[in-house]
Amino acid sequence: MKNIALFGICGKMGRSMLSELILEQDIKIVAGFDRINIGTDIGILTGREISGIKVTDKYEDIKAAKPDLVIDFTGPEVVYKNILWAIESKTNIIVGATGLSKEEIDIVKEKAKKIKSKVFIVPNFSIGAVMMVRLSSLAASYFDNCEIVEMHHDKKKDAPSGTAIATATAINKKKNFNALKFLSDEKETIEGSRGAFSDGIHIHSIRLPGLLAHQSVIFGSKGQTLTIKHDSIDRSSFYAGLIMAIRNIDKLPNFSYGLESLIEI
């Protein structure tokens, strides 16, 4: 039995994953952490029977619950703090929240090397999204340039998405398309028109109601384009990756990044 504390338990992702996790025979939710609905029984969040476990915003309450693992679906404003707390508390943590800077990830990686607990950062739990990133890195060597368009719901707080950044990084390891954001004769007549720029790739972020999580990686060469596209149309698409991460985290090193750590392609 693995005892889990779910951070961001009251958010859309937290509630969706909670509804699935409570059905597993080898998993027990022992604590829920959020900044809203403090004192609410977590059973109410899923429309099930009262569990006796209440939502808290205090780290002391989480520590008292003695979880084997923290799963974090909070947000960019608190996720870094949560990871550092888990490291200091010697508690394994799977991070599904995005918004961490590269500098913060580097710090977490160094701290994780010095402890016995594990940090597993997963920008996207969708197995299809992991395949998209891997296929994009394979295609990179055969094209002249690449741009990424990522589309998410209008409540997403960070841009670009963690998946888009991870995709750009993976592609850059195979080919560096652009040393500079603009060509020598190129200029923006409206600032930001060419999007963000990461690892030699332009990234364009769209936020609209009605969307969930979508990304297109568009490669171009003379006379042709290749588009590798992935769509998550329901949050249930993330559960297979999450349960894979939970059941395999003990096999991973102290720091791991991306679900591809567990998927052989």
Q: What does the pLDDT look like over 90-115, one tens digit per residue?
A: 999 999 998 899 999 999 999 998 98
pLDDT in tens, 19-46: 999 999 999 999 999 999 999 999 999 8
The pLDDT of 199-216, averaged and rounded, is 98
145 pLDDT higher than 90: yes
| 5 neighbors 69 (Cβ within 8 angstroms) | yes
Over 90: is that where the pLDDT of 146 sits? yes
Instruction: Give the predicted TM-score (pTM) of the model.
Output: 0.87
The pLDDT score that the predictor gives to residue 104 is 97
pLDDT at 6 over 80: yes
- Residue-wise pLDDT for 221-258, tens only, equals 999 999 999 999 999 999 999 999 999 999 999 999 99
Higher pLDDT, 72 or 162: 72
The whole-number pLDDT of residue 48 equals 83
Q: Would you say residue 264 has pLDDT above 80?
A: no
Residues with catalytic function: 152, 156
The tokens describing 262, both together, are: 């567990």
Residue type for 53, please? I
Count of C-beta atoms within a 10 Å radius of residue 255: 18
**Sorting pLDDT into bands at 50, 70 and 90, what band is 11?**
very high
**Per-residue pLDDT for 151 more than 90?**
yes
The values of phi and psi at residue 29, to 5°, are: -80, 115
Distance CA 136, CA 151 (A): 17
Q: What is the pLDDT of residue 170?
A: 95
Give me the pLDDT at residue 8, please.
98
- Looking at residue 46, its pLDDT comes to 86
Q: Which of 59, 71, 89, 95 is nearest to 5 (CA)?
A: 71
- Return the higher-pLDDT residue of 50 and 88: 88
Helix (H, G, I), strand (E, B) or coil at 109: helix
Which domains, ranges and CATH numbers included, belong to the chain? 2-121+236-261 (3.40.50.720), 127-233 (3.30.360.10)
48 vs 27 pLDDT, higher one: 27
User: 159 is written with which tokens?
Assistant: 């841009």
pLDDT at 160: 96
Residues 167-195 have pLDDT tens digits of: 999 999 999 999 999 999 999 999 999 99
Neighbour count for residue 139 (Cβ, 10 Å): 17
Give CA–CA dist 193/190, Å, rounded: 6
Distance between CA 47 and CA 196 in Å, rounded?
41
